[in-house]
Amino acid sequence: MNYRDLFDLTGRNALVIGGGSGIGRATAKGLADFGATVTVADTNLQAAEAAADELRAAGYNATGAQVDITDEAQVRQLVTGMPSLDALVCTPSINVRKRLTDITGDEFDRVINVNLKGSFNVMKEAGAVMAEQGKGSMVFFSSIRSQVVEPGQGVYAATKAGTLQMIRALASELGTKGVRANAVAPGVVETPLTEQIKARPEWYQAYADKSALGRWSQPSELVGAVIFLVSDAASFVTGSLLYVDGGWTAQDGRFTPPL
């Protein structure tokens, strides 16, 4: 065996939902670099097509598609329309940063509908396709917030913990069908979702200081984890949560002890 071949995705069809920007867009490029034919899907069709155009310009096989993950029928049409579904990566999330006592019912429903129900729709439809094929690997983006919380992140954290638990259940239910399901837990990443934080220098720096590496991550730094999890290098990895958080959850704050 040549262990380099474990990461080769040549001949595989990968679907990246949320691939129009941020982590999803970087992931689509990474999957293509390792040989996969990539479908870039996003609620923003223009962004999805732009990402696919970039891949095609680089000589890769890619197509753009539009999907709203809160619409089960749209998700079903997307996944069943692919020639095969060897790898699925799902990144979309939204957030409303408010104390729980200030969250409105409509805001709660909106976050739950995208982050939790949307993830459920994708897991359900993609899981059925992969089980029928007898193979497939899916990666969903959870968060460090599935494990630790902060003020204003209660509902978001609940959705990320829920996504992780559904992934674990899916791994248990579909493992004997040849399907693997895992989650990634990023720390703070410079994406459109975190623009609110980046706009306030003191808040941005506080987040940077919280990680062991003392900085934010870039979307490109999440790609390696995804490639590993969808590839044969992770053939015995399922139901797991892979932290890519710069050591955020490994330490209880940063300080200089009097040693």
Task: Enumerate the active-site residues.
Answer: 156
Q: Cα separation of 35 and 27, whole Å?
A: 13
Query: What tokens does 3 get?
Result: 């262990």
